Amino acid sequence: MTEQMTSGIELMFTGMGIVFLFLTMLVVAINLMSALVQRYFPEIPVSRTVPGITNDIDKNVVAAITAAIHQYRKKHN
């Protein structure tokens, strides 16, 4: 019986070691890929303004759109 217990414990530690090594390699690979992506493909800063759209929107247009949204929500809720 002790021989089977010893064999079982050896198998358990071998399996746990393999899983630990796999997870460690996975973490290292993910960190390496992240570093490579950040190095060779940096984020492009996003422009705050949208080309072709001006900031001088007529207040009457805003009021009309707001009223239309209010009526739509009132009708469909």
Domain tally, the chain:
1
Specify if 71 maps to a domain: no
* One-letter-per-residue 3-state SS of the chain: CHHHHHHHHHHHHHHHHHHHHHHHHHHHHHHHHHHHHHHHCCCCCCCCCCCCCCCCCCHHHHHHHHHHHHHHHHHHC
pTM of the full structure = 0.53
Domain of residue 34 covers: 1-44
pLDDT of res. 54: 61
Summarize pLDDT for 6-20 with one digit per residue, the tens. 999 999 999 999 999
> What pLDDT score was predicted for residue 4?
94
1 occurs within a structural domain: yes
17-63, pLDDT tens digit by residue?
999 999 999 999 999 999 999 999 988 887 676 666 666 778 898 89
| Residue 35: inside a domain | yes
Return the pLDDT at 43. 85
Q: What is the pLDDT of residue 50?
A: 61
